[in-house]
Amino acid sequence: MILIINDDGIFAPGIKFLSGVASKFGRIVVVAPDKPQSGMGHAITINSTLRLQPTNYHGAEIEYACTGTPVDCVKMAINQILKKTPDLILSGVNHGSNSSINVIYSGTMSAAIEGALEGVPSIGFSLCDYAMEADFTQADKFVASIIENALKHKMPKGVCLNVNIPKLKAEDFKGIKVVRQAKANWVERFDERKDPYGKHYYWLTGEFVNFEPEALDTDEWALANGYISVVPTQADLTAHNALTKLNYFENHELDRTSR
Amino acid sequence: MILIINDDGIFAPGIKFLSGVASKFGRIVVVAPDKPQSGMGHAITINSTLRLQPTNYHGAEIEYACTGTPVDCVKMAINQILKKTPDLILSGVNHGSNSSINVIYSGTMSAAIEGALEGVPSIGFSLCDYAMEADFTQADKFVASIIENALKHKMPKGVCLNVNIPKLKAEDFKGIKVVRQAKANWVERFDERKDPYGKHYYWLTGEFVNFEPEALDTDEWALANGYISVVPTQADLTAHNALTKLNYFENHELDRTSR
């Protein structure tokens, strides 16, 4: 049983494409937000309630629209709807890139990370094309290959995949690269406007900056060079390299034993 | 200049305590959500607009309530309100733990991570007590020590601190430990109810499970043993150990060069 989730909402074309490709590998369950949830990161709904609505937009055996976030959808699918873990969770295909730093803002990837936390092999797919009419089919062979390999091999525990697909014609893909998340960030600029009542409001906009354009082992490099990028991704945010460098925070003058 | 953010909203007592302690070390700016934003993770507002309202709840030199998420607050503070980076960002003090896996759901910690991405030394503080009347003052010496050390020393680039404070009396704290994020998860259970119109709705609830209760180098261990935990935290989600184990996804039969 393959669970399909996304963050663009249950009506998004990316979900239709992904469930189409995945249906060759197993029975399909779709649980997706009832409205767009882009940029929701790992948000969960704890201060308000959740609802489920059975739907039939994708002809899946089990299909629900959920009022919550992508992570809520994973939790509800496993713990409330299915009451068991699926064999695989596929999230997306997202309309737009989730490479490098975008992973932490991405509802698509947060759903995949949540799947890995629940012990299910999970993959987030994103196409570097924000258009609603984006052509996912150009990459269908690669998407099928990644799904097949995820089902055939045992993925490391707690690890999911962040798969990004460059906007290319089928014949122009060079292949698939397993790479790391590039160090990058957004430089924000707020677009300030006035509403009809004279009050200010703001749109978040920004420019993407790759801090290591020379590195050859990153997702940004892979995408810029015609490859589909696969980044093994997990929820350990510890900066392990920094652990031994921060001993100065252990202020022993304040320790009980020393007083 | 020290920027104070939180996720419990601008009225939460934790923000008042933190700006009080921090005011000994610099001028205070407060930019906080205009309503509770717990569990919002790294969500940002891209499908709707943001607004700012000047406030004076904390007597800070510059103080705004923002309609967005904690991460939106950081972006707006730096790029729209201050138009420069502060010397330090302090997030919290959160009402409730953000140790181990809670870090990825936490708006408090996402604000600190966003601060680190913007190149600012950033610290998220959380007290393991969900009560609104929680007594933050018991830990004031430790909070002051951590702030002082963060200003005195240069923190590694892109790294922020996840500081969790056990619910103890001042005299019972054993000290501060620099530790890693414990492997843990929530086992969810949805509380299903019927609204007055006969329709089902759900509350997300769950039980916390520490997967490595024996480990002595984790935040969960530190907190359970009377220490304040300090976890260096960053936004690289790559599972670096898995990079070399997933070559099977690079299906070379599909490569352009091999066709």
User: Given an 8 Å threshold on Cβ–Cβ distance, is B39 in contact with A47?
Assistant: yes
Angle of helix B140-152 versus helix B13-22 axis, rounded to 10: 50
The arithmetic mean of pLDDT across residues A158-183, rounded, is 97
Burial of residue B116, with CB atoms counted within 10 A of its CB: 0-12 exposed, 13-18 middle, 19 or more buried:
buried
Give B-chain residues touching A166 at CB under 8 angstroms: none
In order of start, what are the domains of chain B with their CATH numbers? 2-182+214-258 (3.40.1210.10)
Q: What is the Cα–Cα distance from B174 to B127, expressed in whole angstroms?
A: 15
Q: What is the CA radius of gyration of chain B?
A: 20
Q: What is the Cα–Cα distance from A30 to A49, expressed in whole angstroms?
A: 20
pLDDT band at B81 (very low <50, low <70, confident <90, very high): very high
Nearest to B51 among A42, A49, A201 (CB): A201
Q: What is the Cα–Cα distance from B66 to B75, expressed in whole angstroms?
A: 11
- The pLDDT of residue A8 is 95
Q: What is the Cα–Cα distance from A105 to B120, expressed in whole angstroms?
A: 19
Read off the pLDDT of residues B125-184 as tens digits, 9 standing for 90 and up: 999 999 888 999 999 999 999 999 999 999 999 999 999 999 999 999 999 999 999 999
- The nearest alpha carbon in chain A to B252 belongs to A175
Would you call B62 an interface residue with chain A, using a CB distance cutoff of 8 Å?
no
- Mean pLDDT for chain B? 95
Nearest to A251 among B75, B145, B192 (CB): B145
- The nearest alpha carbon in chain A to B199 belongs to A51
Cis peptide before A93 (omega within 30 of 0): yes
Instruction: Please report the number of interchain residue pairs, chain A to chain B, with beta-carbon separation below 8 angstroms.
Output: 288
Would you call B145 an interface residue with chain A, using a CB distance cutoff of 8 Å?
yes
- The pLDDT of residue B258 is 55
The C-alpha angle A19, A21, A22, rounded to 5 degrees, equals 60
Record the tokens describing residue A170, joined without a space.
């089928």
Give B-chain residues touching A39 at CB under 8 angstroms: 43-47
Q: Are A104 and B235 in contact (CB under 8 A)?
A: yes
Would you call A143 an interface residue with chain B, using a CB distance cutoff of 8 Å?
no
Q: Are A82 and A121 in contact (CB under 8 A)?
A: no
- The nearest alpha carbon in chain B to A238 belongs to B233
Whether A259 shows a pLDDT value over 60: the answer reads no
Q: Are B74 and B112 in contact (CB under 8 A)?
A: no
Which chain A residues in 97-116 lie under 8 Å from chain B, judged by CB atoms? Answer: 101, 103-105, 110, 113
**DSSP string spanning A7-76?**
SS-TT-HHHHHHHHHHTTTS-EEEEEESS--TT-TT----SS-B-EEE--SS--SEEEEESS-HHHHHHH
Would you call A61 an interface residue with chain B, using a CB distance cutoff of 8 Å?
no
DSSP 8-state secondary structure symbol assigned to residue B21: H
- The pLDDT of residue B23 is 97
Helix (H) or strand (E) holding B19: helix B13-22
Q: What is the Cα–Cα distance from B237 to A137, expressed in whole angstroms?
A: 28
User: Given an 8 Å threshold on Cβ–Cβ distance, is B80 in contact with A192?
Assistant: yes
Min Cα distance A31 → chain B (Å) is: 15
- The pLDDT of residue A257 is 59
**Could you identify the residue written with the tokens 């810029």?**
A224
Give A-chain residues touching B256 at CB under 8 angstroms: 171-175, 226
Would you call A28 an interface residue with chain B, using a CB distance cutoff of 8 Å?
no
Read off the pLDDT of residues B181-210 as tens digits, 9 standing for 90 and up: 999 999 999 999 999 999 999 999 999 999
pLDDT band at A223 (very low <50, low <70, confident <90, very high): very high
Q: Are B148 and B26 in contact (CB under 8 A)?
A: no
The arithmetic mean of pLDDT across residues B77-105, rounded, is 97
Q: What is the Cα–Cα distance from B157 to B6, expressed in whole angstroms?
A: 22
Q: End-to-end alpha-carbon separation of chain B, Å?
A: 59
User: Given an 8 Å threshold on Cβ–Cβ distance, is B236 in contact with A38?
Assistant: no
**DSSP string spanning A182-197?**
PPEEEEEEEEEEE-TT
Give B-chain residues touching A101 at CB under 8 angstroms: 117, 235
- The nearest alpha carbon in chain A to B254 belongs to A175
Would you call A238 an interface residue with chain B, using a CB distance cutoff of 8 Å?
yes
Read off the pLDDT of residues B22-42 as tens digits, 9 standing for 90 and up: 999 999 999 999 999 999 999
User: Given an 8 Å threshold on Cβ–Cβ distance, is B105 in contact with A44?
Assistant: yes
Give A-chain residues touching B150 at CB under 8 angstroms: 249
Give B-chain residues touching A162 at CB under 8 angstroms: 237
Record the tokens describing residue A222, joined without a space.
């892979």
**Positive or negative torsion for Cα A166, A115, B159, B7:** positive
pTM score: 0.94
In three-state secondary structure terms, B129 is coil
Q: What is the Cα–Cα distance from A90 to A18, expressed in whole angstroms?
A: 8
Whether A232 shows a pLDDT value over 60: the answer reads yes
The one-letter amino acid code at B186 reads W
- The pLDDT of residue A252 is 84
- Comparing CA positions, the residue from B126, B149, B113 lying closest to residue A41 is B113
Burial of residue A108, with CB atoms counted within 10 A of its CB: 0-12 exposed, 13-18 middle, 19 or more buried:
buried
**Could you identify the residue written with the tokens 């969790």?**
B164
Would you call A38 an interface residue with chain B, using a CB distance cutoff of 8 Å?
yes
